[in-house]
Amino acid sequence: MSSSYFTKDHEYIRVEGDTGIVGISDYAQEQLGDVVFVELPAKGAKIGKGDQAAVVESVKAASEVYAPVAGEVLDVNGALEGEPGKINQDPAGAGWFFKLKITDVKQLDGLMDEKAYAEYLKTLG
C-alpha cells in the first residue's frame, strides 16, 4: 500500500514502506510548461528535509525541487535526462525524479495528504 503526500512547493512523495518516490505535482508541471531539462541528485546522496534535491527547467522557468523529507537517495529516474517531457506527460508516474530511503517517517506528518493538497490548490486561484 502506498500513500502520497504533498508540500506547499508542489513536490509529492509517494510512500511505499520505508521508501519515498519524489516528483512534482501535476499542478507544478502545468505551471512550468514544457519541461526541457532536469538535474537529478546523485545516488547515495544524503538530503535533509527541505534541501534542494533536483532542478527542473522548462521553456518558461527553472525551478528547484526540494526534498519533502530527509533521506538517502536510493535511485534516480535516469530516463528523464533523455526524455524530460515525461514530467509533463505523467508527473505522478513515469515522471518521478528520485527514490529516498526515509530516515524519519514522522516528517511526513507535516505534509498534506491528497485531500488537503486539493483544498490547498483551491486557495491559489
The pLDDT tens digits of the residues spanning 19-62 come to: 999 999 999 999 999 999 999 999 999 999 999 999 999 999 99
CATH number of the domain bearing residue 95? 2.40.50.100
Residue 84 belongs to some domain of the structure: yes
Does residue 125 lie within any of the structural domains?
no
Q: How many domains does the chain have?
A: 1
User: Which range marks the domain in which residue 35 is found?
Assistant: 2-119
The pLDDT tens digits for 58-104 are 999 999 999 999 999 999 999 999 999 999 999 999 999 999 999 99
Q: Is 119 strand, coil or helix?
A: helix
The model carries a pTM of 0.95
The answer to the question of residue 54 being in a domain is yes
